[in-house]
Amino acid sequence: MKKNWLGTALEILLIVALSASVGIAWNRTLLTSAWRGEVAARAEAAPAANPANAVAEPMPLGLMQVKELLDAKQAMLLDARSTTSFAEGHIKGALNLPLEEAGRNPSRPLQVKVPAEASLITYCNGFSCHDSMELAKILVKAGYANVYVYEGGFPEWRDAGYPVAKGGS
Amino acid sequence: MSQLKNYLSAAVRIALGAVFIYAAVLKIADPVAFAGSVAAYRILPYFGSYLTAAALPFVELACGLLLVLGYRVRSGALIIGVLNLVFIAALASAIVRGLDIDCGCFKQGGEKTTPWAALARDLLFLAMTWFVLKAEARRGRGPEAGAGPEAPAS
């Protein structure tokens, strides 16, 4: 019986080691770029291989960068979440632009007039939420040149104790 | 009666394996999004999230295949059990810390599964794993205990 368990343990080690190695080999390019901390740059490099559809990718921004840009009034902040979530709480100064709404009118997603070279920052509910990236892509396609994604989103901002607001849209 | 039990345990084994294959394929399809889901738990450092996103789905895939094929079931089920315990611990820590995140268990960036719902689901998977292991132990005590080809399990 003891030998049996030893065999199972070896088998488990072998299965995990083999499958994990396959996974690491499969994702080796992603992992090397993550190791160098340039996964965001990878998305940019990809279209370069195929210049026909070379569209600028939205760039991710961190909490501090967003705070500085907002304090300097150098960027416009767009909340990609629903009107309800926005009303419950949003980053102070943000404009609500639900992804659905922008998707309905992708050639002209913004109702207000904004110069094409203005800096736009999108956000939603943090790292697990991809709406901000989708919204940013729509904005890029619509012709805005400087579109950024604040990946930490509302939860990170709120937890950092920075100004938030409720209601309105 | 024991025939029925055999069918039932085979059904549970294949269902559990299929769930893990399904989960693995969705994650393998979008490793960057899965890395984001892992990062959202704020447990692992930056590179750790990517390493997990690269390796974990393939471990899930391997174990799922073993269960569905009925080959080296005990090892596969034990790994799945340990993975489930890890998932449960991660989800529980997310709940305790009040993180409002998506489970990231299956489709990445789809509709959100709350940690509570995911926790309940993982407990069900854990129960299924337990059932599979019990059935396997029962079978192992049968006439052909320990028999099997000596090829590496992969």
| Residue A131 resides in a domain | yes
User: Given an 8 Å threshold on Cβ–Cβ distance, is A127 in contact with B66?
Assistant: no
Q: Which tokens is B12 given? A: 């549970």
Question: Tens digits of per-residue pLDDT, B111-123?
Answer: 778 888 999 999 9
Mean pLDDT of A6-33: 92
pLDDT at A81: 93
- Interface residue A158 vs chain B (CB under 8 A): no
- Nearest by Cα to B38 from B92, B80, B87, B81: B87
Mean pLDDT of A141-146: 84
Residue B109: its chain A contacts at CB < 8 A? Answer: 128-130
Of all residues in chain B, the one with the smallest CA distance to A42 is B32
φ, ψ (nearest 5 deg) of residue A111: -75, -35
Question: Tens digits of per-residue pLDDT, B135-148?
Answer: 988 887 654 444 44
Same domain, A104 and A24: no
Same domain, A25 and A69: no
User: Given an 8 Å threshold on Cβ–Cβ distance, is A11 in contact with B40?
Assistant: no
Same domain, A135 and A64: yes
- Nearest by Cα to B74 from B129, B6, B20, B128: B129
Same domain, A15 and A56: no
Distance from CA of A139 to the nearest CA of B (A): 20
pLDDT at A38: 61
| Residue A45 resides in a domain | no
Same domain, A31 and A83: no
| Residue A88 resides in a domain | yes
Question: Tens digits of per-residue pLDDT, B6-43?
Answer: 899 999 999 999 999 999 999 999 888 898 889 888 88
Same domain, A68 and A123: yes
User: Given an 8 Å threshold on Cβ–Cβ distance, is A19 in contact with B62?
Assistant: yes
| Residue A63 resides in a domain | yes
| Residue A47 resides in a domain | no
Same domain, A120 and A62: yes
User: Given an 8 Å threshold on Cβ–Cβ distance, is B47 in contact with A34?
Assistant: yes
Whole-angstrom distance, CA of residue B148 vs CA of residue A18: 20
Question: Tens digits of per-residue pLDDT, B32-75?
Answer: 889 888 988 888 888 888 899 999 999 999 999 999 999 999 99
Instruction: Say whether pLDDT at A107 is over 60.
Output: yes
Same domain, A67 and A145: yes
How many structural domains compose chain A? 2
Instruction: Say whether pLDDT at A52 is over 50.
Output: no
Q: Provide the 3-class DSSP secondary structure of residue A95.
A: strand
pLDDT confidence bin for B1, thresholds 50/70/90: low
Whole-angstrom distance, CA of residue B129 vs CA of residue A142: 50
pLDDT at A104: 84
Instruction: Say whether pLDDT at A46 is over 50.
Output: no
Q: Are A70 and A63 in contact (CB under 8 A)?
A: no
* Interface predicted TM-score (ipTM): 0.82
Same domain, A20 and A73: no
Q: Lowest mean pLDDT: which of A42-46, A141-145, B89-93, B140-144? A: A42-46
Q: Which tokens is B78 given? A: 């034990």
Same domain, A27 and A56: no
What range does the domain containing A144 cover? 52-165
CATH of the domain at A105: 3.40.250.10
pLDDT at A4: 82
Identify which has the larger pLDDT, B8 or A113.
B8
Instruction: Say whether pLDDT at A98 is over 50.
Output: yes
CB neighbours of A101 closer than 8 A, spacing ≥ 6? A109
- Interface residue A83 vs chain B (CB under 8 A): no
φ, ψ (nearest 5 deg) of residue A71: -60, -35
Q: Are B66 and B72 in contact (CB under 8 A)?
A: yes
User: Given an 8 Å threshold on Cβ–Cβ distance, is B101 in contact with A23?
Assistant: no
Q: What is the DSSP string of A48-88?
A: HTSGGG--PPPEEE-HHHHHHHHHTT-EEEEE-S-HHHHHH
| Residue A7 resides in a domain | yes
Same domain, A59 and A89: yes
